[in-house]
Structure 1
């Protein structure tokens, strides 16, 4: 056996079948995935521009802002990757934030016509479709059966990982396209090596595009691919030297493509302004709980026991809902590895297992308790860029490994003798059904006050605005001022914002620093000096349920020295 052998061997009657003209199967698969995604997101369909997918409104507002920023920046000669429209005057480094400029460009026609919230919702619906279709296409080298490939794509694109991140509005993570590309690249570049220059360039293009979706996925993918490469070298040491020349050509093409497209983004990432200077999030608080692998989260349709534990883990850390595998699919995966005597299958299983172990973080957590047992993830904590990644997000590679193994199992079952084919296929489908998502994907209000919907009349791009309420990291409602600014068409800059950055004396920021004005009390002179320091020209007091409007108006009058005026229900104080 060699690694290059196909997973699905041709049968004796394949010769005549190859002579037939077969229509490609991917359009049917894409249509099926699209229907599933529309059904999953049905709660926003009737009001795409005023309802946002996910119950974490801060993240949907954040992505809505970035989707509006990209076409605005391009249309107004601004740098789309470095902005002072939030966090003014210092600004924000887009490469350290989930700025999704690729989607900003792709969805710009919707943003500029139907609005940025509608673009966000369309992006959330397209993400699982694109992820599932990428997996379907990557599986072409692994399985012959189109139904098996379609099922594998569905498991990946609509499995717990993507659905859990969809529930919290993570647009960058529902577009999980790079892992299937890496699955293709491992086979094409490390094993087959038929077109090293072309395949290396294609991989470089995929990495460059992923840089415009989410840079962390590139870092995670590099770790997984490196581990797989080491496994291949250890298992087949005699093939290492003969393959090095072609591998070198592929890597050169990859680096050339990434360098040509991403030289400036890489500089922003590694040495650009406003980047964080410390650990963004402690890995212990963003790693997979071992119990989450078998405790079903509320996002799944079929009850299998331990739902209370799954709900409790997901409530503490919503991304725990993305880690679920379940005993039925774990059994299928183990059986596939043991029964399908194929080196490629075992390499995929090893890659998935490594990703699973790393996703557990630096110390083992079990049912919400930190056991103190050290894990290999500790070593990655000190690696630049890679150490900033949240361990639980390695789960996307675990999901991909599961999808591949299940697709291989179904493909083999479909070619089994008739007497065992039906029970085998039915058993595999029953196991796959444990990943069916529940009809529980929520939507939140994403409407803006009339003043912002009208384009913030009286304000211009020369204005720097402070808002009451200010933008914060609060998951529900915290980023409302960013949504309002996006709906106003980026009519002004603002000093607030929900973003990742830094400031003197603050190595990591997750929101703009509060000024003396934001206390809404205290020393008016100090508040006035802070507004001067920030270059604020306009203060907006926006009536909201959590805002004491009379008190905020009195304070703002005291600080600015102007009475203010009401425009479309919003108090405007021009200094």
Structure 2
């Protein structure tokens, strides 16, 4: 069922698995394809999958501050090796919601006995507004949301029940933490905050229970930490002290806060939108981060579940956890319709906590969705066992309204055509030779649409060369924070030409390129670019070569 829903969601890419990528923000999807290919290349050549000089050469790139997704890269490695990284990326995007839904169904087995109830709620969770929002921008690491269900399983097993095998539970949870580290570390931080909230809620509501469970919980915790640190010692070193990590805050604290109005007003990615005033068009952030929609139907269901006695011993703490996480997701300010209403919010207390302070509070929305889905599961489970009265049909109708209210719009997930110049797939490995360092024009940038296309070309070449540029989070000599490869004098000249200005001295650009170890320049002509001939002339002046056409690019040798 989940696979069918996912295929319907991603139907636009099915006819072009190798020629298009999911997500209108192609820079992110191309970044993921690069890392999928890098993993296969690294494993096959004995290189480090988590640190590379194939971007930002010669200084290198710390994968733990980027999106290497080694767990997914390993799972999709056979696809990458045979069909290419674009196909692997698209296949992984399709499978993400399926894995999330199955994980939810498995994790809630003891909390919700009936499979039908877990299946309905699992589908609601797997295709919730958060997942649809991030699917729309090609965020592979945020459509694989198996970690929140793992949190539910751990809380249920280690806190709510007597656990006869705490060391095994802890070891399994430690393994889960390690796998999530290999998916996306920020989701790990989201889970840590969520666990703290759960612990606080249980301590306040059921202190006696916490006291009884504390001895076994400590055993689970010790086992968990041992397994986790054994498996993740090196990734944690890279994250905390490794080379190339960012040395200052990546984004302003107020850049990634949820808009409170999004709770009631959906983004344009939702199919059913009752919003005559157009409030959804005025939400903060872009639609790819507007995943916090709950909606009147689900809010009504939660309110009824809290008041009419539907397993309130489960519903009440879950609803309280969700409410606290909603407040935290607002970040340092309370923003409503992109306007700051309350200047100071609780999240400000976490800004100086290492790693947690870099977390984007808006990402807490996925755990909120998991909490709401669990309440729905309890509601459906209770409903199945009741006689079919008028009230029963009303309650069932409310479930239908909830599901309909979260359906994605028909065009919620778009695709981007990904043409790759023939040179990179046909000739690059043979023409450039081993150890090549290439400067491409255009270069990789962080522009959301098309900026990272050169990374896709590099990946499709089978990592036939290194490049001084890139699209990443990192640092470099004299630069505590980089969000893309720094612009060298040659590329500055290209930018000047495209802006209608004169470039600088070619000998300065040539000297800098050689200092960086660049061995070749590859110019990819762009149709209709009025500056194309001047860029070629500039490249000839810098390289001292006339250039030679190879397939559909012009190659300039800097080795001499």
TM score, norm. by length of structure 1? 0.92
Partner of 1:248: 218
- Which secondary structure does the structure 2 equivalent of 1:540 belong to? strand
Alignment of 1:427-446 (within 5 A): 427-440=398-411, 441-446=413-418
Partner of 1:553: 536
Q: By how many angstroms is 1:464 displaced?
A: 0.7
Q: Does 1:335 align with 2:317?
A: no
Which one of 452, 456, 461 corresponds to residue 479 of structure 1?
Answer: 452
Which one of 513, 517, 533 corresponds to residue 535 of structure 1?
Answer: 517
Which one of 495, 498, 513 corresponds to residue 486 of structure 2?
Answer: 513
Contact 1:190 1:229 (8 Å CA) reproduced = no
Tell me how far apart the structure 2 counterparts of residues 317 and 438 of structure 1 sit (CA, whole Å): 16
Partner of 1:6: none
Runs of 4+ in 1 over 3 A off after TM superposition: 239-242
Q: Does 1:129 align with 2:98?
A: yes
Q: Deviations over 1:422-479 (max 9, x none)?
A: 2211222212210011221100011201111215140134011111111110000000
Alignment of 1:86-165 (within 5 A): 86-165=55-134
Partner of 2:550: 567
Partner of 1:13: none
Tell me how far apart the structure 1 counterparts of residues 433 and 254 of structure 2 sit (CA, whole Å): 44
- Which secondary structure does the structure 2 equivalent of 1:502 belong to? strand
Tell me how far apart the structure 2 counterparts of residues 70 and 194 of structure 1 sit (CA, whole Å): 39
Q: By how many angstroms is 1:320 displaced?
A: 3.7
Tell me how far apart the structure 2 counterparts of residues 263 and 538 of structure 1 sit (CA, whole Å): 38
Q: By how many angstroms is 1:546 displaced?
A: 7.7
- Which secondary structure does the structure 1 equivalent of 2:472 belong to? strand
Tell me how far apart the structure 2 counterparts of residues 546 and 133 of structure 1 sit (CA, whole Å): 49
Contact 1:73 1:80 (8 Å CA) reproduced = yes
**461-470 vs 502-511, which deviates more?**
502-511
- RMSD (Å) for aligned C-alpha atoms: 1.4
Partner of 1:522: 504
Partner of 2:425: 453
Q: Deviations over 1:507-561 (max 9, x none)?
A: 2111011111111221212211220221100111111248532111111111111
Q: By how many angstroms is 1:306 displaced?
A: 5.0
Q: Does 1:371 align with 2:344?
A: no
Partner of 1:41: 10
Contact 2:170 2:224 (8 Å CA) reproduced = yes
Alignment of 1:2-401 (within 5 A): 32-192=1-161, 193-306=163-276, 308-313=278-283, 316-339=285-308, 340-401=310-371
Contact 2:254 2:333 (8 Å CA) reproduced = yes
Contact 2:134 2:142 (8 Å CA) reproduced = yes
- Which secondary structure does the structure 1 equivalent of 2:283 belong to? helix
Alignment CA distance shift 1:43-1:409 (3 Å): same
Q: By how many angstroms is 1:318 displaced?
A: 2.6
Which one of 494, 502, 520 corresponds to residue 475 of structure 2?
Answer: 502
- Which secondary structure does the structure 2 equivalent of 1:365 belong to? strand
Tell me how far apart the structure 1 counterparts of residues 379 and 331 of structure 2 sit (CA, whole Å): 30
Tell me how far apart the structure 2 counterparts of residues 143 and 263 of structure 1 sit (CA, whole Å): 36
Contact 1:541 1:572 (8 Å CA) reproduced = yes
Contact 1:319 1:392 (8 Å CA) reproduced = no
Contact 2:258 2:290 (8 Å CA) reproduced = no
**100-109 vs 418-427, which deviates more?**
418-427
Q: By how many angstroms is 1:157 displaced?
A: 0.6
Q: Deviations over 1:396-439 (max 9, x none)?
A: 01111111111111211222232132221122221221001122
Q: Deviations over 1:301-354 (max 9, x none)?
A: 11222573213427x423342111111111112221233243232222122112
Tell me how far apart the structure 1 counterparts of residues 287 and 325 of structure 2 sit (CA, whole Å): 19
Q: By how many angstroms is 1:355 displaced?
A: 1.5
Alignment CA distance shift 1:461-1:226 (3 Å): farther
Alignment CA distance shift 1:241-1:455 (3 Å): farther
Alignment CA distance shift 1:231-1:445 (3 Å): same
Tell me how far apart the structure 2 counterparts of residues 382 and 545 of structure 1 sit (CA, whole Å): 48
In structure 1, runs of 5+ residues without a counterpart are 1-31
Contact 1:188 1:194 (8 Å CA) reproduced = no
Tell me how far apart the structure 2 counterparts of residues 133 and 558 of structure 1 sit (CA, whole Å): 59
Q: Deviations over 1:119-144 (max 9, x none)?
A: 00001000011111111112212222
- Which secondary structure does the structure 2 equivalent of 1:286 belong to? coil
Q: By how many angstroms is 1:279 displaced?
A: 1.2
Tell me how far apart the structure 2 counterparts of residues 241 and 294 of structure 1 sit (CA, whole Å): 39
Contact 1:295 1:306 (8 Å CA) reproduced = no
Tell me how far apart the structure 1 counterparts of residues 246 and 205 of structure 2 sit (CA, whole Å): 40
Tell me how far apart the structure 2 counterparts of residues 371 and 507 of structure 1 sit (CA, whole Å): 33
Which one of 341, 362, 384 corresponds to residue 414 of structure 1?
Answer: 384
**543-552 vs 244-253, which deviates more?**
543-552
Tell me how far apart the structure 1 counterparts of residues 227 and 410 of structure 2 sit (CA, whole Å): 42
Q: Deviations over 1:170-199 (max 9, x none)?
A: 000000110110011011112222320111
In structure 2, runs of 5+ residues without a counterpart are 494-502
